[in-house]
Structures are given as structure tokens and as C-alpha cells.
Amino acid sequence: MLITVITAVAQEHRADYRVVPLPDRIDGIKDKDFLLKSTCLIDYPAGNRDMERVAVMLSGYIEDLTSMHLSTRPVKSSTNNSGCISLSLDPKMINDEGYRITVTSKNIEIAGKTPAGVFHGIQSLRKSLPVGQTTTVIMPAAQIVSNPRFGYRGMHLDCVRHFFDAETVKRYLDIMALHGMNRLHWHLTDDQGWRIEIKKYPRLTEVGGWRKGTVLGHNSPVNDGIRYGGYYTQDEIRDIVQYATDRFITIIPEVDMPGHMLGALAAYPELGCTGGPYEVWCQWGVADDILCVGQDKTLQFVKDVLDEVMQLFPGEYIHIGGDESPRVRWQQCPRCQQRIKDLGLTAHGKQSVEALLQGWFTTQMQQYLAAHGRHIIGWDELLGCDVDTTATIMSWRGAEPGAEGAKLGHDVIMTPVGPLYFDYYQTKDTWNEPTAFGGCNTLKKVYDFDPVAADLPAGMRHHILGAQANVWTEYITCEPQIQYQILPRMAALAEVQWMEPAAKDYQDFKARLPHLVDIYKHYGWTYRAKSLAVEEEEQEQP
């Protein structure tokens, strides 16, 4: 009896390297265990600021989970680092973001080709730790190696339909880091609000940042009549971008155009075809009023906005939206029709002259951004607008547009509504769930998704840069609800993003998940506990 108890206690303090996402290899080494204690130091190469920062983060993570405090120490490579966790760079490693953890009785080495790789190794080590106060963690001798399958491992967050403060966005980034993700697609402008301060156009946030009320229920015609809004100042954005960069996450801002623009039109009605007046929308859905691209001042406006956006976001990609852009106003607008004439656009195939006008407008922005060394990402509607292949396509209306885009030579990011819309329900039992957009994307459906369609020809597969889940927030009003929608589905997505399909195994994932969930609990994050139960899954299967 006593022996059982002692073993149980010892077990509790043992690391388990079978984390989520599961590393490519975990090979035992014939050696004694390493004993992780607060006397161990975390060594990093002296003078390397990134490595210093990740060393301090590792110390913080260990303290969060076990209450042991380990100090960090800069070292010259020759230092004998026995009894330590040493962080190192190994230029011979193949993948920029891959990692190798070697645990022997003497020390733990976390190596990467870049600090980003070391950071992902740190996340793995963190997830292997037991949760709860302790003075020693037994680390079995082993070598753990992992390389991500995709370079683009994203999450999206809509901060327009509901606004979330900077602290919430930072916690979202923390959750992404824990799951090995590296791209945040940040949806900042839409019909229901403009959320990014633009110095040249202050009314965008003064007027466009606020709506008179928020829809009640499921896009009913009734709103609550309570003024709602908010925006990020440029200082806040810089701070968030730095926070992301510190975690090797690139933020891709989205300024949706030419549709989903009522926030801007309410502030500057002269940018619309009818001249307004317009109101920041108190409904969800697709609005008919979009930017009037028949006038040069609209193009100048967008370029001015993009100038400030580029200053704030140093990453290679800017998302210019392009989705759900009705053309009824353009059909009636003399200026837009004149532009079509001047450009000599003629309808061909399935493409109307107005679709081609959207293509022309998009290309203008694409070229403007290209002249500043940036690339555009747009929703898959761009495939119907004759844009050239330097535009990266985000496939959302299913996976088929992505395959089509890849065949045409576009790079593609897979975010199909099924199963990667995390604003959708995660069960058929919607009655007992917080209100969601609709649909049903279960944990298993997310897990089973393969971003590279089985029939995509081998020569086109490299165009699939990766996958991302989208979190639209029409019905998501607060941070616990965001977390409920993403956890634990993000865990399933992490394995889609990191692992080769042949290595994935849902049952095995489910067995590894509870430990990750213990970490969610430890940080006080909300998650959907029912997704862990086997019973529900059986009900969900057809």
C-alpha cells in the first residue's frame, strides 16, 4: 500500500515528453534520469538577446507550473554546463523552427537552428512538466526531435464584431505560443467598426469605431441600443506587435476592402458611391455599401491607411480582405462605370466587369504594397477577379478554392469553414453551448483535416503554406467565450500544423490531451471540457 502511494507521488513529478503537438521522435537514451531542481541554471549564449529572452521565459514557465525558480546565466560556449538546461543554436539543423531536446543524467540541451526553434523546444519542455508545486522533476534521459510540417501555423481573431482589449490579445498570443503557432491574422476593420488608429484619418476611430447597438440573438433585426466600440491606439498596436515578436509570432493585419467597409464610410461618406450618409452597421452579414473605386481619392485614402499599417506591422504580409463585396453600388455608380470604360474592361467567362474592377482595384493595392516590399493575402473571392499569382489566397469557402488557387500558381493558406471556423459550434448539442455562428466543427473533424488535399498534384503541394482557424466574433462577446471556442480545438489544429498525416492518431491525441488541459486549467483559461469525453464523440459520429 505504502509502496503504491510512494510510486504514485514519484510518478506525479515525472516529465512526459508525449506532448501536443507530438514530437516527430522521442528516443530513450540509456542513462540515468536528470533531476530538475531550482538549483539548476538555464544557460544561454552570452550576448544573444533573443536567447536571453527565451531563457527568461523558460524560467517563468517552469515557475508557473512547478513553483521552482531557476536562474538564467549567460555563458561562453566553452563553459561546462553540467547540471543545467542549456539553450543553444545549431546551424546544422534543417528546419528554421525545428528543435532538438537532449536529456542526459548531466544536463538538458534545447537546440534549434534559430531562437524560434529553441522557443518551440522550450514550449515542448514546458508541456512535458507535471503541473503543481514540487521541488524536483524527474526528466527521463531521451532525445526529442521535431520539425513543423507547415511554415504558416495560424490563428485569426476578429476584434471588430466584438472588441477585445490589448491584454486579451496578448493572452491569445500566449495560448498560440503554447500550441506552437506562429501567425496571428488580426481582423481590424469591418462594417461594424474600425479598430486601428490612423493618424491621418482620425474620424475612422472617433466615428467609425462606434456603433449604436449590437444585434440581439441570431442576427435578428433588433439591436440592444447600447453604444458599443473601441479601438487600438498605435502605441497599443506597437506593444502587441512586440509581444508577438518576442514569441516568434508574426501578426498579419487585415484591412478588409473594398467591401466590409461601413466603419470607414460612416466616418468619410465621400468614399462611398452614394455619398451616404452611412452608419456603422448594427447588423451582421454582408452590406451593399462598399468603397467607390471610381474616384482617385478612394485609392489615395486606402494607400494612406496602408502606409500607417505598414509602419506598425513589419511582417511581409498584409491582408487586404476582398471577401463578400457586392457590386450593386458599382453597377449604379457613374464614376465606377466610367472607370470600367476608361480601363477598357470587358466581361469574360464568369467574370463581370465589376468583378474585374475589383481585380483592378486589388492589383493597385497589391502593386502599392509590393513597391514597399510587402505581399498581399486575400480571401478566395480574389480568384474570381483576375489578380496575379503574387497574391496569397486564403481558402475559406471550403478547401476547393485553395486547391484551385494552388493549381493556378498561388500560394494558399487553408482556413475552410469546415472544420476550421472556430466560431462554429463544436457539437450538435447546441442548446447547451454558448451561442455560436452555426455549423458543427467537432474536435475530431479538426483533427482529421489535412490542408493538402489528397488529390492535389505533387508539383503543387508546396503552394499550401499551412492552415489557420478563424474566430469571427459576431456571437463571441468576452474572453472566456473566445477561449471556450478555441480550446481544445487549437490542440487538434496544432497537430494538423506540426505533424505528418501518417503520424497522427486521434485516440493517442485524446490520451495526451488531458495533460495539456491541466495546463489550461492552471492558467485559468476556459475550455470545453465535454470535448474530452469519449461518450460525446460516439454520439457525434454519423
Please list the active-site residues: 190, 260, 324
- Minimum gap (Å) between residue 220 Cβ and ligand TNX: 16
Does residue 379 bind ligand TNX (CB under 6 A)?
Answer: yes
- What residues pair up with 229 in beta bridges, in sequence order? 210
CA atoms within 13 A on the CB side of 49: 2
> Coil, helix or strand for 379?
strand
201 lies in the binding site for ligand TNX (CB under 6 A): no
Give the side-chain half-sphere CA count within 13 A for 44: 22
List the grid coordinates of 111: 537546440
440 touches ligand TNX (CB under 6 A): no
Neighbours of 413 (CB within 10 A): 27
Backbone conformation region of residue 347, classed left if phi is above 0, alpha if psi is from -120 to 50, else beta: beta
What's the min distance (Å) between Cβ of 332 and ligand TNX?
A: 24
Residue that is written with C-alpha cell 472556430 in the block = 422
Query: Which is closer to ligand TNX, CB of 197 or CB of 423?
Result: 423
Determine, following the binding rule CB under 6 A, whether residue 324 of this chain makes contact with ligand TNX: yes
CB of 150 to ligand TNX, least distance (A): 20
User: Using CB under 6 A, which of 99, 194, 228, 437 touches ligand TNX?
Assistant: 437
Contact status: 254 vs ligand TNX (CB under 6 A): no
Distance of alpha carbon 313 from alpha carbon 374, whole angstroms? 11
Candidates 423, 492, 493, 526; binder of ligand TNX (CB under 6 A) is 423
Establish if 97 lies at the interface with ligand TNX (CB under 6 A). Answer: no
The residues near 202 (Cβ < 8 Å, ≥ 6 apart) are: none
CB of 52 or CB of 324, closer to ligand TNX:
324
In the complex with ligand TNX, the residue whose CB is nearer, 323 or 411, is 323
Residues 6+ apart with CB under 8 A from 10: 138
**Distance in Å, CB of 359 to ligand TNX, minimum:** 17
Does position 472 interact with ligand TNX (CB under 6 A)? The reply is yes
> For residues 264-323, which are near ligand TNX according to CB under 6 A?
323
Cα separations in angstroms, 29 against 26, 86, 143:
10, 18, 7
State the Cα–Cα distance between residues 341 and 338, nearest whole angstrom. 5
Q: How many residues bind ligand TNX (CB under 6 A)?
A: 9
Phi–psi pair at 414, nearest 5 degrees: -90, 120
- The answer to whether 50 contacts ligand TNX (rule: CB under 6 A) is no
* 425 lies in the site for ligand TNX, by CB under 6 A: no
CB of 423 to ligand TNX, least distance (A): 5
Give contact residues for ligand TNX (rule: CB under 6 A): 323-324, 379, 396, 421, 423, 437, 472, 474
